[in-house]
């Protein structure tokens, strides 16, 4: 006998009558009262190519859920996209939009007491937002990656959105000689269809995280948007979510410490985006899972080899990575390290899911005993300048300077930093300090990427280092940059105390970033600083500023503490 669903309303009751009236016009029948009610979480938007296809996916998902014996209800959420939504308010709506998505989902799904969710994952922040909501609500959930965008060529060479971004920044710095016609042609070729950015940026990294956590179907990531493979996953996910509801298989059964360990290992092995660290910590917090994701990355960065280098971290494309077997193939190569008893949305363990997994190209996805590199791609550092943490991203194979010591050149906004670089204020040997762009300082966490690219465009990326409490695009990987320094300057962290000329010592091999200023002097500066963090923002960003927590804790707002 099937169990009583939480969405079930006693026939003849007030709630039953009201729902029957509201949903009857949508085709809801009396028989549907006893069927699983499934939310299709859709972040569709015409603001970016990332989301442009989701309505089509949602329509197919509705049909498939109906065919599987469920009742589908489409709900909408915010849809932040870095390249578009990042234009306003210093990029503050990007990370903060993730947390808005969590609450959008809670209001719609928990308010209606639906039984399960299928989340249509797309751009960077929708994926962690959906996973955080799944962990908070703890109802059966599958996350479906809706794919990466196809890209084209320019003058016989591959071009995608990251290439367009980088080369147009270089043009403004005089490093690239491009005509207006060149830029027009490049922008026409960089994106040839809907889906997320085509490199191993945050979007594709988070899609892979979904599978590594066990919250997506095996073999479903990465995938090209609207491909036959993606549609096959849609059909299978619809069938599976209905059974998951009957089985009462919930996210917190899956989101265990072992699952987060697996996700950390997979990200380290594919040179994933550093943004996955803070997203995984926020998901763990919502799942009430007692795990320190930052410490997980610190532990496994010394153990897990790099097995794949996808642009911009290596020479291979995301298409080649998918053809080689994608996330499932990576997990097969890592099987000796993984927590293979971890449960997944299939109702099976990781070991069972990997039993027949294959690697189709061992040059693209290397075996663990013949890695691309044994040097970690994501390195967490600590020290007197970053007592909680900072993160350094390294490419898969490029040899990069891992030690740097020099005088600080301090900027309190990306705009002032860019102006300083243009005026030649940044000299070889400087450690550029960009502060005030953390989660509370922006508010919403600003981007350091433009400054990193400007330094590179000025020919200084191998001659200076950068330290910032801001984040960087997952598609950015230039020079020696310590990002997401915590505590941030707006919370009175050591970064707020740095002055021009102070010596900063960065030693990635020793996992250190230190400010060489006597404690007595810092104490004087701290006393003089002694001012609360404020913002002129109103509306959502004011709420975010008031409630956001430090990144190593959860880096989110309105995080649940009970359920």
Strands (E) in 455-525, as ranges, are 465-468, 480-486, 503-507, 512-515
β-strand 386-393 against 480-486: which pairing, if any? antiparallel
Q: Would you name the residues annotated as active-site residues?
A: 473
**How far from chain centre, in Å, is Cα 255?**
17
How far CA 449 is from CA of 83, 118, 379, 473, in Å, comes to 12, 33, 18, 6
Q: Kindly state the tokens that stand for 530.
A: 């002694």
Neighbours of 103 (CB within 10 A): 17
Distance in angstroms (rounded) separating the CA atoms of residues 488 and 470: 8
CA 105, CA 139: separation in Å to the nearest integer?
12
Which of 389, 402, 442 is CA-nearest to residue 277?
389
Q: Write the CA distances from 490 to 367, 437, 445, 556, integer angstroms.
A: 44, 8, 11, 16
Contact 36, 70 (CB under 8 A): yes
Residue 148 CA, distance from chain mean position: 14
Calculate the dihedral angle through the C-alpha atoms of 102, 108, 112, 116, rounding to the nearest 10 degrees: -50
Per the CB < 8 A criterion, the answer to whether 212 and 266 are in contact is yes
Strand partners, 37: 71
308-343 b/e with 16+ CB inside 10 Å = b?
A: bbbbbbbebbbbbbbebbbbbbbbbbbeebbbbebb
Helices (H) and strands (E) in the chain, counts: 21, 14
């Amino acid at each position: 006998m099937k169990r009583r669903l939480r969405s079930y309303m006693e026939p003849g009751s007030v709630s039953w009558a009201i729902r029957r009236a509201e949903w009857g016009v949508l085709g809801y029948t009396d028989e549907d009262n006893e069927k699983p009610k499934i939310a299709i979480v859709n972040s569709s938007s015409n603001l970016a190519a990332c989301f442009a296809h989701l309505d089509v996916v949602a329509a197919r998902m509705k049909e498939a859920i109906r065919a599987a014996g469920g009742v589908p209800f489409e709900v909408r959420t915010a849809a932040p996209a870095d390249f578009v939504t990042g234009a306003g308010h210093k990029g503050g709506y990007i990370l903060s939009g993730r947390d808005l998505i969590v609450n959008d989902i809670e209001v719609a799904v928990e308010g209606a007491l639906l039984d399960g969710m299928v989340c249509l994952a797309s751009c960077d922040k929708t994926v962690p937002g959906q996973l955080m909501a799944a962990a908070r609500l703890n109802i059966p959930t599958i996350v479906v990656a809706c794919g990466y965008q196809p890209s084209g060529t320019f003058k016989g060479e591959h071009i995608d959105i990251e290439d367009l971004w980088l080369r147009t920044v270089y043009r403004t710095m005089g490093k690239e000689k491009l005509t207006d016609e060149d830029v027009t042609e490049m922008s026409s070729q960089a994106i040839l269809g809907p889906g997320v950015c085509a490199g191993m940026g945050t979007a594709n990294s988070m899609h892979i995280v979904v599978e590594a956590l066990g919250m997506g179907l095996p073999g479903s990531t990465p995938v090209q948007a609207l491909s036959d493979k993606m549609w096959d996953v849609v059909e299978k996910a619809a069938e599976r979510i209905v059974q998951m509801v009957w089985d009462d298989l919930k996210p917190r059964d899956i989101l265990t410490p072992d699952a987060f360990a697996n996700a950390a290992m997979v990200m380290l092995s594919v040179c994933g985006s550093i943004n996955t660290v803070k997203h995984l910590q926020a998901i763990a917090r919502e799942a009430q899972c007692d795990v320190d994701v930052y410490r997980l990355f610190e532990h496994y960065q010394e153990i897990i080899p790099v097995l794949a280098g996808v642009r911009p971290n290596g020479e291979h494309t995301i298409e080649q990575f998918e053809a080689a077997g994608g996330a499932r193939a990576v997990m097969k190569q890592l099987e000796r390290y993984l927590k293979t008893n971890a449960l997944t949305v299939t109702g099976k363990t990781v070991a069972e899911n990997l039993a027949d997994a294959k690697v189709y190209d061992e040059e693209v996805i290397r075996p663990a005993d013949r890695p691309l590199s044994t040097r970690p791609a994501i390195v967490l550092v600590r020290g007197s300048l970053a007592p909680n943490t900072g993160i350094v991203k390294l490419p898969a194979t490029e040899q990069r300077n891992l030690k740097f010591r020099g005088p600080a050149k301090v900027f309190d906004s990306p705009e002032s930093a860019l102006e300083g670089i243009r005026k030649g204020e940044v000299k070889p040997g400087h450690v550029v300090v960009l502060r005030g762009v953390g989660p509370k300082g922006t508010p919403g966490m600003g981007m350091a990427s433009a400054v990193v690219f400007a330094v590179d465009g000025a020919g200084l990326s191998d001659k200076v280092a950068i330290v910032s409490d801001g984040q960087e695009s997952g598609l950015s990987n230039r020079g020696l940059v310590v990002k997401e320094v915590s505590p941030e300057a707006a919370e009175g962290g050591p970064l707020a105390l740095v002055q021009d000329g102070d010596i900063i010592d960065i030693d990635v091999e020793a996992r250190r970033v230190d400010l060489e200023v006597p404690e007595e002097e810092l104490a004087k500066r701290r006393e003089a600083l002694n001012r609360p963090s404020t913002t002129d923002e109103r509306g959502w960003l004011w709420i975010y500023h008031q409630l956001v927590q430090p990144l190593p804790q959860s880096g989110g707002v309105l995080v649940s503490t009970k359920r």
